[in-house]
Structures are given as C-alpha cells and as structure tokens.
Amino acid sequence: MANHEYPIDQIVDLTKEFIRIPSVTGEKEPIKEILDRTIAELKDFSYERFIGPKKGSESLLFFNTPTRPEEFRVILNGHLDVILAKPDQFNPYISDGKLFGRGSSDMKAGMAAEILVFKKIAKSLPYPIGLQIVTDEEIGGADGAKFQIKEGVRSKLVLSGEPTDLDINNEMKGVLVLNVTAIGKSAHASALQKGDNAVVKLSEFITKAVQAFPIPRHGEWKTTLNVGNCSSENPHNKVPDMATSVFDIRHIPEDTKDNLKNIINQLASEGIIIREDVDGAGIACSVDPTKPDLVLLANCIESITKKPVNFVKKAYSSDIRHFVEVGSTAANFGPSGEDFHEDGEYGVIESYQQYAKILSDFLKKIK
Ligand SMILES: [Zn+2]
C-alpha cells in the first residue's frame, strides 16, 4: 500500500507551510508571501504573473515550455486564497489522520499536491502543461482564472484541485444575481392615502419570489433563491418611495438564466425594477462525463482507490466554470476533507497522497 513516489510528508509539510500564511482573499502581504513561496518551489519553471483589473489580485501561470503555448493540453488549476478564519486555524495540527486548519481542505492541500506533481513530472511530459495558481477564487475569479482567459490562456483540459473526496465534480450550479428596486410614492406618515409604500411593495414581491423557489430541505438538485438584503433609507414619518434588495439565485444547468429572469419578471408588479448584476454571475456547468479525458481520469482514480468513482454535482461554483465557458473540458477533482469554510476544517491526509498518485498516473497516460 505504501507509495513513496510522493512522500506524504512532503505534501503535508508544504500544506502546513501554506496554512501558516494567512492568505485571506484580498490580503495583499500574505498573498504575496504565499505566491513567492510557490515561485521558490518551482524555480526551474517559466512563469507569468498576472495582476487582475478588478481588485488587483495576483495570479501565476507556470508552464513546462519556454514560452506560454497557444493552447495547453492540460492546466492544473487551484487557488491559494482562503476565507476568513479564527487565528488558531492558521496553526495547522494533525490528529487521527486528519490535518486541521484553514485551507487543509479548500484547497491548500490540493494545491500543494498539484505543485509537487507538476514539479516532479511536468518536464517529462510530451505535451504543454500549465499550473495556474490564483488568489481570488473565493470571490468569483474575475482577477484570476477569468482574467488569464481574457489574456488568451487556453487549455483542452482543466482540472481544479478543489476538495471532491477523490470523485469527479463535473456539474455545478450557476449564479444569477439580481438587483431589485421598488419604486413607490412618498407622502407624510399621517396621510398614507397620498403615498405608495415601496417597502410594502418590495416585501410582497420578495414573498412571491421566495415561494416560487422552495428551499430544498433534503439536498435535492434544484434552483434556489437567497434574498441577500432588503433596505430603505427612510425616516419613520415618511412613506418610503424607494426600497432595494438583492437576490442570489443558484441555478441548475436545466434552468437557464433567461427562463429564470422571465419567471421573476412575471412575479413583479408595476414599480418593481429588476437588473442583473453581471459581476456576480457565473454560468451553470454540465460537462459530459463520457469525454475521453474524464473517462481516463475515472479509470486512474479507480485503480488507486479500488472503489467506484462517482461523477458528482455541486451547488457551489469554482473557477472551472470560466474554462467551461470557453469550451474546455473541465472538472473539479481533489482530495477528501470536511467542514471547509467552517471552524473545524480538515483534510484527510491519506487522500492527499492518493490524489497526487492519481494525478501523476493520469498525466503520464493522456495523449
Ligand atoms: Zn475552493
């Protein structure tokens, strides 16, 4: 069972080093430190550094060719930013075969394994392979993956090391963000008949919208609608003439954005204005599991784990959606972990090593 090709200590040590750097999305200094650490690790490779236009988030792209090719055969993608955590979550520790700490699951371990596999075999592979490391995945990837694509980075296949329990996540929900404004008519609070209350109008609309998308209490694969906020700047003695809200709709691939916008618009009474916020948007992805690259990956997984692999659906999105949008075959495939984005986040150490081994086998086998 022991496999010494990717010593587990090496993956765990690099992951622990990463966890100790509090690279919360948007924190410039720790982000710079963690990227410098990866540049030091991959000092024998060419790379490009990208500075995104939205928030100035940095990302890197390493490759096994002297210059960036027009199209990579494979890009290994990952992010080194994490969401906020309690201070002690930046002190990793091991207990019962699990590594605890922010990023132990999402996704510093997956990234560390990708880096070490790339370092070890990229130069021996007969095709162009890239390693993409971004620092804004947790806020949508506009500066990282999406920006690199805008700068011409392309790949036939993209795999992201997000935690998937060594399954293949090929389907994910899209995000549709709608800004809602209710327009009414102001009047004094003592003369309501002269006014038209925008808060009341908005709350009636919100009730209808929420009823149209019942909460899937048992994890059913359905489109959901979250009312993110609801506000009106208005004193108590005046009928409000304006109120605003924002809807975050996570939709399955079968529910297209246009259909959803139609449904929402039909619920709106006069005076309700709905505008899509394209910055917050992401497409829903459904990548065909019979694509040869994914079939080969599934075989490589099964030969290491000795159990059937699953193609799984996820309600949250990741940077691979940006690549799906430009025609890549793309999926999330990473090690096991639990409670990411929570206080008890951990990764399963054995799965880190299995992950590295599978990835390496797969990369050596593809044509
Ligand atoms: Zn992640």
Average pLDDT over residues 12-22: 98
pLDDT tens, 159-217? 999 999 999 999 999 999 999 999 999 999 999 999 999 999 999 999 999 999 999 99
pLDDT tens, 80-90? 999 999 999 99
pLDDT tens, 45-80? 999 999 999 999 999 999 999 999 999 999 999 999
For residue 132, the CA-to-ligand 1 centroid distance in Å is 14
For residue 244, the CA-to-ligand 1 centroid distance in Å is 31
For residue 145, the CA-to-ligand 1 centroid distance in Å is 13
For residue 347, the CA-to-ligand 1 centroid distance in Å is 13
Write out the DSSP string of 334-358.
Answer: ---EE-TTSTT-EEEHHHHHHHHHH
Within 10 angstroms of residue 47's Cβ, the number of other Cβ atoms is: 16
For residue 141, the CA-to-ligand 1 centroid distance in Å is 11
For residue 142, the CA-to-ligand 1 centroid distance in Å is 15
Write out the DSSP string of 229-293.
Answer: EEE----TTB--SEEEEEEEEEE-TTS-HHHHHHHHHHH--TTEEEEE-GGG-B--EE--TTSHH
Does the pLDDT at position 361 exceed 60?
A: yes
pLDDT of residue 2: 44
- Of 351, 292, 49, 320, the closest CA to residue 170 belongs to 320
pLDDT tens, 202-229? 999 999 999 999 999 998 999 999 999 9
- Dist. CA 154–CA 162, nearest whole Å: 20
- Dist. CA 143–CA 148, nearest whole Å: 8
For residue 226, the CA-to-ligand 1 centroid distance in Å is 21
For residue 38, the CA-to-ligand 1 centroid distance in Å is 18
For residue 87, the CA-to-ligand 1 centroid distance in Å is 20
What mean pLDDT value characterizes the chain? 95
pLDDT of residue 102: 97
> Is the pLDDT higher at 298 or at 140?
298
CA-based torsion, 186, 192, 196, 201: positive or negative? positive
pLDDT of residue 279: 73
Distances (CA, A) of 121 to 63, 89, 318, 329: 12, 32, 26, 22
Is residue 317 very low, low, confident or very high in pLDDT (cuts 50, 70, 90)? Answer: confident
- 180, containing H or E segment: strand 174-183
For residue 137, the CA-to-ligand 1 centroid distance in Å is 7
Does the pLDDT at position 265 exceed 90?
A: yes
pLDDT of residue 179: 97
For residue 105, the CA-to-ligand 1 centroid distance in Å is 8
The answer to whether residues 82 and 163 touch, using CB atoms and an 8 Å cutoff, is: no
Within 10 angstroms of residue 144's Cβ, the number of other Cβ atoms is: 29
- Give me the amino acid identity at 191: A
Within 10 angstroms of residue 83's Cβ, the number of other Cβ atoms is: 15
- Of 339, 321, 356, the closest CA to residue 158 belongs to 321
Within 10 angstroms of residue 115's Cβ, the number of other Cβ atoms is: 24
- Dist. CA 225–CA 175, nearest whole Å: 10
CA dihedral 356, 359, 365, 367 (to 10 degrees): -140
Does the pLDDT at position 275 exceed 80?
A: yes
- Give me the amino acid identity at 121: I
For residue 317, the CA-to-ligand 1 centroid distance in Å is 9
Contacts of 351 (CB under 8 A, 6+ apart): 165, 166, 335, 336, 337
Across-strand partners of 158?
75, 330
pLDDT of residue 320: 93
Provide the H-helix boundaries in 106-216: 108-121, 145-150, 198-212
For residue 182, the CA-to-ligand 1 centroid distance in Å is 35
